[in-house]
A and B are shown apart, each in its own frame.
Chain A
Amino acid sequence: MGRCLGGSDTLFGLDARKRNFRFSISFHGSCICALLTAYLFYKTESAESRPVTKIFLRCAWFTMVVLAASIVTKSGKVLVSRQFVEMSRIRIEGLLAAFPKLVGTGKQHTFVETENVRYVYQPIEALYLLLVTNKQSNILEDLDTLRLLSKLVPEYSPSLDEEGVCKMAFELIFAFDEAISLGNKENLTVAQVKQYCEMESHEERLHKLVMQNKINETKDIMKRKASEIDKSKIEKNRGDKGGLMALSGPRRIESSFNDMSISNSGSGFGSGSGIGLSSDVESFSIKPKGRPSASATAPSKGLGMKLGKTQKTNQFLESLKAEGEVILEDVQPNVAQSKSSLPSTDPVTLTIEERLNVVIRRDGALNNFDIQGTLSLQILNQEDGFVQLQIENQDVPGLSFKTHPNINKELFNSKHIVGLKDPNRPFPAGQNDVGLMKWRIQGMDEASLPLTVNCWPSVSGGETYVNIEYEASESFDLQNVVISIPLPALREPPSIRQIDGEWKYDSRNSTLDWSILLIDHANRSGSMEFVVPPADSSVFFPIAVRFTAASTYSDVKVANVIPLRDNAPPKYTQRIQLIADTYQVV
């Protein structure tokens, strides 16, 4: 958990996990759009000619291209050759081998045409620099390009003989790549190409500088905090030192610092991170092998509830146009964004959150059931900071509270009131949530699970029938329930026989998402049945479940906000949420 409870959240805004998560969402979004556009294409485009035109030379979308730029010796040995369109090795070798025989001596022009190609060349000492183009190619452009290349070659290869060129072969290829972008001419100068090849980037330097600063800064803070904490420990009894800023201890800062360095290092999941690599491997390795056809992935009802809610058909084009943004800002009920989704306007905002970490075995036994709660406070104005909070909660076995070191413990234990040790100090104000209190509930049994999922794959007649049912407990009304069942790699979406709710097949991750907007007393249980080609039953696990609910286990609430000064109690709002953080059936 790299999340920060302290006020340093902005500093570590580039949380690695958050980024990954966002990334997977954007897959999601573009997939849905693929369905929609595919559908649109059927309506607008003369569809039958499309797939045919697709099977064609990839690079050659322009009819005037340089096929290859090469350096050969006068005897015909190919030293370096860079091809810009797809051609087989035997073909290019043949073309280049034929070239020296075609070059006449004593000619005053430097091109040769054969039946199929044109060579434009330039002798450089004992070598030929040559461009192979098609015959329709624009000679004027090609000569320009050749001129540029002929200036580049001596730049990169100081000795213009076989050995020198071979030594610098890769550098030459890089330069060729810059000068001819995939066969198309670029208007560049030698200096520009050199600049491109040197890859000196101002931005990178800046970035590195910023990174270094951040690292130094963080180290400083770390040191300071460490010493502060040491001090505060010594002077603990006096109770007049310390601040909320010191909430997250030195260990935490260090760990989040680690996270940051991974995510920002730009290249690589080396440096001992492990997180990025392993999670990516997971998500990619279950990717579909087949290609879902557009029609198959476009059932009219299967649009998924998120898009169905936010996008209307008449807005469709606008949204598609802006899709680059849409993908990234796609609003979904997810952990990372729910918190910051609505900037509060009330002077005091209280957020009470419980996160579920549940792992259930297939047979229904519990592997892990863990609830973690937080109470955090956001105060807009400093004046409103002189308050105390009256807490109410249900008595649940196994519930234990932990308060921030600056909170007056005695007051809390006796009266369930959260207030600062020093009543003359306000709560810190600003846009950030300030964590005040944490709690855990342990030792819960199966009976208290909000939702159980049963999955019964059975093979019959060359197909696998999968029956899934869920059962929700009476105590919660669950919102935005999504049950993701991994499927074997499929060419087409599974055929759904029966379903309560909606489904969507995510071909990218090869999962079937069964979503139910709301589970309340009306549908405490539901089921789905679908058929896929025969597969091992273990394929369908682990099933991941996501949901939110508006009430919590501990039922922690702020009953009242008590002003300490003589003014009216500030208006406050509280947000209470239960979130399934990890909810898996394995």
Chain B
Amino acid sequence: MEKSCSLLIHFDKRSQAMANEIKEALEGNDVEAKIDALKKAIMLLLNGESLPQLFITIVRYVLPSEDHTVQKLLLLYLEIIDKTDARGRVLPEMILICQNLRNNLQHPNEYIRGVTLRFLCRLTEPEILEPLVPSVLTNLDHRHPFIRRHALLAIAAIYRLPTGEQLLPDAPELIEKTLSSDQDLSARRNAFLMLASCAQPRAVAYLLSQADHVANWGDLLQMAALDLIRKVCRANPGEKGKHIKVIISLLSCPSEAVVYECASTLVSLSSAPTAIRAAANTYCRLLQSQSDNNVKLIVLDRLNELKTSHREIMVEMIMDVLRALSSPNLDIRRKTLDITLELITSRNIDEVVLTLKKEVVKTQSTELDKNGEYQQMLVQAIHSCAIKFPQVASTVVHLLMDFLGDSNVASAIDVVLFVREIIETNHKLRVSVITRLLDTFYQIRAARVCSCALWIIGEYCLSLSEVESGIATIKQCLGDVPFYTATEEGETADASKKLQQVNSSVTVSSRRPVVLADGTYATQSAALETALSAPTVLPGSLASPGNLRALILSGDFFVGAVIASTLTKLVLRLEEVQPSKAEANKACTDAVLIMTSMLQLGQSSFLPHPIDNDSYDRIVLCIRLLCNTGDDVRKICSQSCRQSFAAMLAEKQFQENEAIKAKAQISYAQPDDLIDFYHLKSRKGMSQLELEDEVQDDLKRATGEFMKDGDDANKLNRILQLTGFSDPVYAESFVTVHHYDIVLDVTVINRTKETLQNLCLELATMGDLKLVDRPQNYTLAPESSKQIRANIKVSSTETGVIFGNIVYETSNVHERTVVVLNDIHIDIMAYISPATCSDVTFRNMWAEFEWENKVAVNTIIQDEREFLNHIIKSTNMKCLTPLSALDGNCGFLAANLYAKSVFGEDALVNISVEKQADRKLNGYIRIRSKTQGIALSLGDKITLKQKGGSN
């Protein structure tokens, strides 16, 4: 068992004092100097020095000191020194401190007594505690509550020692007496806790005898009572009935903390609907009454847990939960929405949507900075409601469409996506939605929203009137053609200059390559970037009536291409539905005119940069289509697009269903799992871990007691030989990597016939590793072996190297002999684990992160997919690009990989490969991270492993 550490203090190397200076100061008479020296000594000890000679000085010169601070520091000193020798026996000199401790326990100053008693709680050596027991007991009756509190703690601590029952055989009786007689709340709490942990039946008896008064106990004691109830009921479920009453009475207690605890106790004890309902009610009440965000969030977490275990009850509570939306905090709102979205049923959907709608309306009226995001969240929430329950779509879609023209692009995009999905899935709404969309189209400012809306118009204007008004709307928004005349050039010369500036600044900032959602690694055009970043209403185009015109004049030819294809679709459809050929032809020519105007604008010098090739090609294609139409083209335009959209929706739905199914699958037990019948189990042979409940486990995990020892066979495979077989000292080690630390277990064997003295394993580290302990000296008998354990702290994800020597002396040679050890490489793979994040966050992080490492692909693997899999396997990352997107055999592959380190760092990888003519793969792997360490280590790892093939 590792030594426990009770305090940490930052140690400044500059202030380091020599041991003899400290000693001198301690021996002096100056109290201030003594305090200072004692502090320094403690710091040195904490820093791993051992100052064995100091102890006697302290006993002689510091123990008798009357000063309170000195005494308190002394206790700290005693707390951190080693009180036992290597074999776990108490050092004989520790007896010297007993007298002092005893004096302190009888000190007239109540605080000295108190702190000394508290110190005793941290002692584990019965040999030291034993002579102090009577003094501790006398303190139990002291009139000062400060002393009684700590005396109770000390008694409890002593009693809990393995030999505690012999040291304090009657502790439970004494404490029970104190519990019933004491007035001080804190003291009673301590007493109760002691009983609860050491003499549970007594504690239970006391609790039951006081059941009627529990509501009047102080909050501290009530907490302890709840803790006890939980423990008892877990060990002995039959007892539940007796205690529920107590809990119920506590539920109406004024202290919020107690109420909260009550609720969680109720949940852990019972799954009866009434109990759960009471708990959920309590949580909801807390959610309302507490103003602290932390509390709200944690209460929401609890509600979330309830939701998974007792869904049907939480469904009833949905409206109470929703009330938390009134908090201005986004995290809270998000969590609330997450919870409620999973609770909606056909019965409560109307109410929920009503509330959501109200909230949405609220966001419209108020102008808070964070509202945009909130609005987006609400829109998304309504979106998913509408998908689950299509009947509500009709009530919300119109409301939401008001947001299409909103200045908040993100929520506008969400809305338009929502509209797109609704119009496809909900045919009844099509007509009204289209009409509405055409009405509000002129308000749309953002390019992305525009293009999506245009697509909807192009696809879903079916009837003659719709098609006609669609074309009319677009035309109106575009304004008069041509967009650009020679005369205009001079007028807008300065405007264009400005524009140029704007654009150039944008281009500069966005030069960095961006990974697209499908994993393609693209350098985006500056124009698109502008469109993405914000709806730019340029000064020169403010006057123009149409939003589309403004966009095109700002140089967004992507929108131009979308307009072109929309017009093409509409015109083709018009030809189908319009009986009059002339009308159709007129529309057709109008469309062609618009397209050519756009091309003309694109190629003019009016705009700082000309039309990009892609858009140009598409517009030209549209013109060609309109000029000579064939059936295939017609079909493609009027049907295939929609079909592929429907297919996409279906795929999305399918994936969601799969995910739900997979989730549901997890909770089922395996058919061949063992079932534990708690009541049938003999508790005799049970290990401690099995006996303790999950709450205790939680605590133990937190303190790091749960360090699973991996299977030993596996361990043996990872043995590293550190020295040669012919070296006088043979050493080998195995390395265990925990979360934040690395443990080296080194076996050292003396191969000589001599005794090796002062044998020391000196380790040094490279990278972000730090040795925790100072090495100790050992003496190694001839041909004996020794296990040495070294702890190394890791603070970030990085490949590290540990190297070192073994140094020793032999009796005849006085020089120290050095054996150099093999290096130990710590692999980055031990720290990172696959993780997922959304495309958007991935791209945001990609743009944000500082460190990029670009590795050229150099592999003998010839298949792209195989290569990807190989990289995934060797880097332990997760592929974010969906499998469906990787299908096919086109000779290109682009994928995004993502992983997270145990320290919470993100590692992003993008793979872009292309199959060359000679069947070799060519391309780059780019790694980005916030810190250099990951980028470098991961790059090294990939370089090392990418070759592949051999294994």
* Shortest Cβ distance from A25 into B: residue: B134
Chain B residues within 8 Å of A, Cβ to Cβ: 2-10, 12, 39, 42, 60, 63-66, 68, 71-73, 76, 89, 92, 95-96, 98-100, 103-104, 106-112, 114-115, 118, 121-122, 124, 126-127, 130-131, 133-134, 137-138, 140-141, 144, 146, 149-150, 153, 156-157, 160-170, 173-174, 177, 185-186, 189-190, 193-194, 196-198, 218-220, 223-224, 227, 230-231, 256-257, 260-261, 264, 290, 292-298, 329-332, 683-684, 688, 691-692, 695-696, 698-705, 739-741, 772, 791, 793-795, 902-905
Q: A249 vs B89: C-alpha distance in the bound complex, in angstroms?
A: 50
Question: B residues within 8 A CB of A550?
Answer: none
Task: Please tell me if the beta carbons of A62 and B193 are within 8 angstroms of each other in the complex.
Answer: yes
* Shortest Cβ distance from B302 into A: residue: A139
Q: Which of B63, B64, B227 contacts A63 (CB 8 A)?
A: B227
Q: Sorted from nearest, which 3 A-B pairs have the closest CB atoms?
A: A94-B740, A268-B64, A270-B64
Most B CB contacts (10 A, CB to CB) among A117, A294, A324 go to A324
Task: Please tell me if the beta carbons of A54 and B160 are within 8 angstroms of each other in the complex.
Answer: yes
Q: A498 vs B138: C-alpha distance in the bound complex, in angstroms?
A: 40
Q: A59 vs B702: C-alpha distance in the bound complex, in angstroms?
A: 13
Q: Which of B114, B127, B141, B741 contacts A94 (CB 8 A)?
A: B741
Question: B residues within 8 A CB of A429?
Answer: none
Q: A296 vs B104: C-alpha distance in the bound complex, in angstroms?
A: 34
Given contacts A139-B295, A201-B111, A268-B64, contact A284 B95 (CB under 8 A): yes
Q: Which of B8, B112, B149, B162 contacts A70 (CB 8 A)?
A: B8
* Shortest Cβ distance from B687 into A: residue: A52
Question: B residues within 8 A CB of A207?
Answer: 108
Given contacts A98-B904, A181-B186, A280-B95, contact A109 B223 (CB under 8 A): no
A285 at interface, CB cutoff 8 A: yes
Q: A70 vs B729: C-alpha distance in the bound complex, in angstroms?
A: 43
Question: B residues within 8 A CB of A185?
Answer: 220, 223
Q: A365 vs B535: C-alpha distance in the bound complex, in angstroms?
A: 114
A45-59 contacts to B, CB under 8 A, are: 48-49, 51-59
Given contacts A54-B161, A187-B219, A324-B174, 14 further A-B contacts (CB under 8 A): A30-B133, A38-B169, A54-B162, A58-B157, A58-B160, A60-B699, A109-B329, A169-B10, A170-B73, A177-B118, A201-B112, A268-B100, A281-B95, A284-B131
Q: A27 vs B133: C-alpha distance in the bound complex, in angstroms?
A: 9
Task: Please tell me if the beta carbons of B106 and A95 are within 8 angstroms of each other in the complex.
Answer: no
Q: Which of B330, B704, B795 contacts A87 (CB 8 A)?
A: B704
> How many residues does chain A have at the interface if contact means C-beta atoms less than 8 Å apart?
118
Q: A508 vs B100: C-alpha distance in the bound complex, in angstroms?
A: 20
Task: Please tell me if the beta carbons of A266 and B5 are within 8 angstroms of each other in the complex.
Answer: no
A93 at interface, CB cutoff 8 A: yes
Task: Please tell me if the beta carbons of B111 and A166 are within 8 angstroms of each other in the complex.
Answer: no
Q: A95 vs B8: C-alpha distance in the bound complex, in angstroms?
A: 13
Most B CB contacts (10 A, CB to CB) among A51, A182, A207 go to A182
A452 CB → nearest B CB, Å: 33
Task: Please tell me if the beta carbons of A63 and B39 are within 8 angstroms of each other in the complex.
Answer: no
Question: B residues within 8 A CB of A422?
Answer: none
Stretch from A76-84, A344-352, A558-566, A574-582 that touches the partner: A76-84
Task: Please tell me if the beta carbons of B703 and A91 are within 8 angstroms of each other in the complex.
Answer: yes
Q: Which of A80, A86, A134, A268 contacts B698 (CB 8 A)?
A: A134
Task: Please tell me if the beta carbons of B294 and A111 are within 8 angstroms of each other in the complex.
Answer: yes
A444 at interface, CB cutoff 8 A: no
Task: Please tell me if the beta carbons of B295 and A140 are within 8 angstroms of each other in the complex.
Answer: yes
Task: Please tell me if the beta carbons of B257 and A102 are within 8 angstroms of each other in the complex.
Answer: no
Task: Please tell me if the beta carbons of B227 and A62 are within 8 angstroms of each other in the complex.
Answer: yes
Most A CB contacts (10 A, CB to CB) among B65, B223, B296 go to B223
Task: Please tell me if the beta carbons of A201 and B331 are within 8 angstroms of each other in the complex.
Answer: no
Q: A82 vs B80: C-alpha distance in the bound complex, in angstroms?
A: 12
A268-323 contacts to B, CB under 8 A, are: 268-271, 276-277, 280-281, 284-285, 287, 289, 291-292, 294, 320-321, 323
Task: Please tell me if the beta carbons of B772 and A90 are within 8 angstroms of each other in the complex.
Answer: yes
Task: Please tell me if the beta carbons of A116 and B701 are within 8 angstroms of each other in the complex.
Answer: yes
A365 CB → nearest B CB, Å: 33
Given contacts A58-B160, A98-B904, A269-B64, contact A33 B140 (CB under 8 A): no
Cβ contacts A to B, 5 pairs, < 8 Å: A51-B162, A62-B193, A63-B231, A109-B296, A268-B65
Given contacts A34-B169, A41-B165, contact A109 B109 (CB under 8 A): no
A456 at interface, CB cutoff 8 A: no
Given contacts A98-B904, A196-B111, contact A266 B696 (CB under 8 A): no
Task: Please tell me if the beta carbons of B705 and A57 are within 8 angstroms of each other in the complex.
Answer: yes
Question: B residues within 8 A CB of A280?
Answer: 95, 98-99
Given contacts A27-B131, A63-B696, A116-B702, contact A138 B104 (CB under 8 A): no
Question: B residues within 8 A CB of A324?
Answer: 137-138, 140-141, 174
* Shortest Cβ distance from B106 into A: residue: A266
Q: A281 vs B193: C-alpha distance in the bound complex, in angstroms?
A: 35
Q: Which of A181, A270, A320 contacts B170 (CB 8 A)?
A: A320
A107 at interface, CB cutoff 8 A: yes
Q: Which of A59, A166, A267 contacts B12 (CB 8 A)?
A: A166
Question: A residues within 8 A CB of B795?
Answer: 76, 97
Q: Which of B121, B130, B165, B329 contacts A37 (CB 8 A)?
A: B165
Per-residue B-contact encoding for A84-128, CB less than 8 Å = 1, 0 else: 011111111111111001100001111100011100100000000
Task: Please tell me if the beta carbons of B295 and A143 are within 8 angstroms of each other in the complex.
Answer: yes
Task: Please tell me if the beta carbons of A287 and B227 are within 8 angstroms of each other in the complex.
Answer: no
Q: Which of B131, B134, B329 contacts A108 (CB 8 A)?
A: B329
B716 CB → nearest A CB, Å: 24
Task: Please tell me if the beta carbons of B107 and A111 are within 8 angstroms of each other in the complex.
Answer: no
Task: Please tell me if the beta carbons of B5 and A181 are within 8 angstroms of each other in the complex.
Answer: no
Task: Please tell me if the beta carbons of A267 and B103 are within 8 angstroms of each other in the complex.
Answer: yes
A226 at interface, CB cutoff 8 A: no
Q: Which of B127, B141, B695 contacts A136 (CB 8 A)?
A: B695
Task: Please tell me if the beta carbons of B9 and A169 are within 8 angstroms of each other in the complex.
Answer: yes
* Shortest Cβ distance from B48 into A: residue: A89
Task: Please tell me if the beta carbons of B8 and A93 are within 8 angstroms of each other in the complex.
Answer: yes
Task: Please tell me if the beta carbons of A291 and B3 are within 8 angstroms of each other in the complex.
Answer: no
Q: A269 vs B294: C-alpha distance in the bound complex, in angstroms?
A: 53
Q: Which of B130, B688, B905 contacts A56 (CB 8 A)?
A: B688
Q: Which of A111, A196, A276 contacts B99 (CB 8 A)?
A: A276
* Shortest Cβ distance from B138 into A: residue: A324
* Shortest Cβ distance from A40 into B: residue: B169
Given contacts A91-B703, A181-B186, contact A291 B163 (CB under 8 A): yes
Task: Please tell me if the beta carbons of B293 and A108 are within 8 angstroms of each other in the complex.
Answer: yes
* Shortest Cβ distance from A210 into B: residue: B108
A568 at interface, CB cutoff 8 A: no
* Shortest Cβ distance from A52 into B: residue: B688
Q: Which of B219, B293, B703 contacts A109 (CB 8 A)?
A: B293
Task: Please tell me if the beta carbons of B8 and A78 are within 8 angstroms of each other in the complex.
Answer: yes
A485 at interface, CB cutoff 8 A: no
Given contacts A80-B10, A94-B793, A271-B64, contact A284 B683 (CB under 8 A): no
Q: Which of B110, B126, B173, B791 contacts A321 (CB 8 A)?
A: B173
Task: Please tell me if the beta carbons of B127 and A321 are within 8 angstroms of each other in the complex.
Answer: no
Per-residue B-contact encoding for A165-207, CB less than 8 Å = 1, 0 else: 0100110011001000110111100000000100101011011
Q: A199 vs B60: C-alpha distance in the bound complex, in angstroms?
A: 24
A256 at interface, CB cutoff 8 A: no
A26 at interface, CB cutoff 8 A: yes
* Shortest Cβ distance from A176 into B: residue: B7
Task: Please tell me if the beta carbons of A90 and B793 are within 8 angstroms of each other in the complex.
Answer: yes
Q: A120 vs B12: C-alpha distance in the bound complex, in angstroms?
A: 27
Q: Which of A64, A181, A267 contacts B107 (CB 8 A)?
A: A267
Question: A residues within 8 A CB of B700?
Answer: 57
Q: A408 vs B332: C-alpha distance in the bound complex, in angstroms?
A: 99
Task: Please tell me if the beta carbons of B5 and A92 are within 8 angstroms of each other in the complex.
Answer: yes
A356 at interface, CB cutoff 8 A: no
Q: A92 vs B71: C-alpha distance in the bound complex, in angstroms?
A: 27
Question: B residues within 8 A CB of A111?
Answer: 294, 297-298
A555 at interface, CB cutoff 8 A: no
Given contacts A37-B170, A83-B7, contact A61 B297 (CB under 8 A): no
Q: Which of A30, A61, A90, A268 contacts B2 (CB 8 A)?
A: A90
